[in-house]
Structure 1
């Protein structure tokens, strides 16, 4: 199991939280659309962890202004601490020029697909992963699990994509898909995302960063799997 590779990403809209993530994360994702003064935060950032930046519109679960979000994202890509930029698939379909602009800043690009209501059929989800890969460096899919089989479908698609040398990350949203945040790495999911601090009740099955890191350590590096099951039952 020790040959499984993944990166843990702590999510925040306040870069002052970075110090709290250092023990558990490899990256911090900075959600610009939910942040106060995001450009100023990036300018003043002097943390240790490299950054992933996102500036999501409403259809991707964010709050970014349509009139300024791409300009802000391009400005963020030029920051020294930014290694990766996320952009949603719908946007990149309509604004293909954006990929070249982002790459001029020597950042990797995550192209992400979100569906907060359902999980597409397997063939459609496979096509979406491949389309994200055609545009970007890393494909990311987050789809809602209405039934248990949806989580299995997502894991199957992740596995097939990773076996085809596609860099991929994905989760099933919701209670029925919550376990995919932990076990997705066994099927090729490259990144594990978690809020640094979960202030409100998890709407889509989020797991707070410190707990997710602990669960990953237990599963991937051979800890007591009975203990893992007990943790999952007790917390969720």
Structure 2
């Protein structure tokens, strides 16, 4: 069995009842599920309002802000899960088959608590098999098996790499860049980096604190960072 060591902010409380708001020494967190196959942890992803535990059997549970206080996780009703990511206010699931399901106010504002298949919304039907997912603060990035990067959610800092921020939001994945081998971002970040197959690195999005390594502080389209 894999037990977790938990420390940091516990203000809601997040996972541990009857503990202080700040946990400065790791304490053990045990799953109450009696099924041993659902205690073998493969991955944990945590963001602004939720935490997802992915088990080695391809199943996952989530702790939401609404149920933190009673420590009752919800089972995610998606099978064969390969990877999970949590942003500030979004959750994303990648299955072994290459499908991606997501939920959140910036993804599905009409029903933010319902997972929808966002990979099926990619315009090119031959580009819907996803090999990796990355969460930003209010955006989700998809890397397809054809090495194309797509973005969905907010583009208010130019995260999608266009020449302007006129398109502030999209509820369908749009093509950001081709020939991409890896996408890098943080789950509370409004900027990202894209590495192509030639090992050229590009950055775009929020640069107000010079996160992209540029001298000027501004919103950016795709900028080559390093050869």
More helix by share: 1
* TM-score normalised by the chain length of structure 1: 0.31
Structure having the larger proportion of residues in strand: 2
Q: Which has the higher contact order (CA 8 A, sep 6+)?
A: 1
